[in-house]
């Protein structure tokens, strides 16, 4: 599937079906500004770089920022700004046309928490919503009017709850795509800020 060189790192999420569900369904127009939260290996941002030149990525995992930098360099991509930090803290006063996030959506018991930085990619807390809800609390402040949020989550982490929250916030939200796996559906939620 990937038509990019993808280096991996044991401490960084390896692109999987959820990554490509987002990458294959990007709604980005030329010239739009894009923010990807939790870029990991950078794979989604690399696909985005074919659609626009104004891309910023963040990750709470410093190893991910370094791996993304390496992947961008090896693929000759120079138009992506990489910022190390949690969610929106490193883009405090900025707004974007498109915000992308493959969320850490797995419901995680205390004894399932991993000790290394890879944990950030998976750990959604007990109900899978720990990071999703923090993201939803702030996303409206960083999205331009007419913009779109594209986020990946799991049926295990409450798609209806996310759609309801987005609706309350004035977005028009829908499940735009999904893939079924053994015990869950991985879903792409598109939310339009009108």
Whether 6 is in a domain gets the answer no
Structural domains in the chain (count)? 1
Whether 120 is in a domain gets the answer yes
Whether 184 is in a domain gets the answer yes
Whether 37 is in a domain gets the answer yes
Residue 160's domain spans which residues?
Answer: 17-21+28-193
DSSP string, the chain: ---S-----TTSPPP-HHHHHHHTT----TT-EEEEES-TTSHHHHHHTTT-SEEEEEES-HHHHHHHHHHHHHTT---EEEEESSTTGGGTT--EEEEEEE---B---GGG--SSTTHHHHB--TTS-HHHHHHHHHHGGGEEEEEEEEEEEEGGG-HHHHHHHHHHTTEEEEEEEEEEETTEEEEEEEEEE-
Q: What is the CATH number of the domain that holds 140?
A: 3.40.50.150
Whether 8 is in a domain gets the answer no
Statement: residue 2 has pLDDT above 80: no
pTM of the model: 0.94
Whether 70 is in a domain gets the answer yes
Encode pLDDT of 7-50 as tens digits. Answer: 999 999 999 999 999 999 999 999 999 999 999 999 999 999 99
């Amino acid at each position: 599937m990937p038509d990019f060189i993808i280096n991996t790192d044991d401490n960084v999420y390896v692109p999987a079906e959820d990554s490509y569900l987002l990458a294959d369904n990007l709604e980005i127009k030329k010239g739009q500004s894009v923010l990807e939260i939790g870029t990991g290996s950078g794979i989604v941002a690399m696909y985005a770089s074919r659609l626009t030149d104004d891309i910023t990525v963040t990750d709470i995992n410093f190893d991910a920022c370094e791996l993304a930098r390496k992947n961008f360099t090896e693929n000759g991509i120079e138009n992506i700004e990489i910022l190390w930090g949690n969610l929106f803290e490193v883009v405090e006063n900025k707004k974007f046309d498109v915000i992308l996030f493959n969320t850490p959506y797995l419901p995680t018991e205390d004894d399932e928490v991993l000790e290394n930085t890879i944990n950030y990619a998976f750990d959604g807390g007990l109900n899978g919503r720990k990071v999703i809800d923090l993201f939803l609390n702030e996303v409206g402040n960083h999205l331009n009017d007419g913009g779109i949020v594209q986020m990946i989550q799991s049926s295990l982490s409450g798609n209806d709850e996310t759609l309801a929250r987005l609706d309350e916030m004035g977005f028009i939200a829908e499940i735009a795509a999904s893939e079924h796996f053994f015990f869950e559906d991985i879903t792409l939620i598109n939310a339009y800020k009108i």
